[in-house]
Amino acid sequence: MIRAFVGVRIDPEVVERILEIRFKLPESGAGIRWVRKENLHFTLKFLGPVEENRIAPIAQSLGDNLKAIPRFEISAKGIGVFPGIKRARILWVGLEGEGLRPLAMTVERALEPLGFARESRAFSPHLTIGRWRNFDGSPERLGEEIDRWKNHLMGKTQVNEVVLFKSVLKSAGADYSPLEVFSLADPGTHL
Q: Domains for the chain: give ranges and CATH numbers.
A: 2-183 (3.90.1140.10)
For residue 66, pLDDT over 60 is answered with yes
Contact, 6 vs 110, CB < 8 A? no
Mean of the per-residue pLDDT values of the chain? 91
pLDDT of residue 27: 55
pLDDT of residue 86: 86
Q: Which has the higher per-residue pLDDT, 137 or 4? A: 4
Q: What are the residue ranges of helices labelled H in 4-151? A: 12-20, 55-66, 100-111, 139-149
Q: Residue 110 and residue 67: Cα distance in Å, rounded?
A: 12
3-class DSSP assignment, residue 69:
coil
Q: Residue 71 and residue 189: Cα distance in Å, rounded?
A: 10
pLDDT of residue 189: 58
3-class DSSP assignment, residue 188:
coil
When pLDDT is cut at 50, 70 and 90, the band that residue 128 belongs to is very high
Burial class (CB in 10 A: 0-12, 13-18, 19+), 171: exposed
Residues marked as catalytic: 41, 126
When pLDDT is cut at 50, 70 and 90, the band that residue 14 belongs to is very high
Q: Residue 190 and residue 187: Cα distance in Å, rounded?
A: 8
For residue 190, pLDDT over 60 is answered with no
